[in-house]
Amino acid sequence: MFVATLSDGPVVAVEPGATPFTRALSLSHPTPNPTSSRVELRLVSRDSQYGRVEVYDMLGRRVAVPYNGTLEAGVPRPIEVDVSGLRPGVYVLRVTAASGTAMRVFTVTR
């Protein structure tokens, strides 16, 4: 198993054998992808903290805030985004918390 560690700095590391909890935030891949009605992900935070999940279109406009609240340490939080009202295209789901940021990309089709 490989886990990528991403940061705002210039260093990017991949550690063989690392577990998902070595990262402050673990965000699953969106499913289904592509989608036409809804997309689901799972978010796990290493520490208890406030977190916000936002969806952006490719022009940088925020189009949804599917979660805004407390993330409990080690407890998976399912995130479901209703995309039925979004135009077809590519979107970025961004999680922001005190410990960092995680992002995933998904596509809406019709």
Domains of the chain: 20-108 (2.60.40.2550)
Instruction: For residue 54, give the nearest of 39, 44, 64 by alpha carbon.
Output: 64
pLDDT category of residue 9 using cuts at 50, 70 and 90 = very low
Q: What is the pLDDT of residues 29-52, one digit of tens each?
A: 999 999 999 999 999 999 999 999
Instruction: For residue 95, give the nearest of 56, 39, 48 by alpha carbon.
Output: 56
Q: What is the pLDDT of residues 66-104, one digit of tens each?
A: 999 999 999 999 999 999 999 999 999 999 999 999 999
pLDDT of residue 16: 54
Task: Quote the DSSP letter at residue 50.
Answer: E
**Under the phi-then-psi rule, with left for phi > 0, alpha for psi from -120 to 50, and beta for the rest, what region is 74?**
left
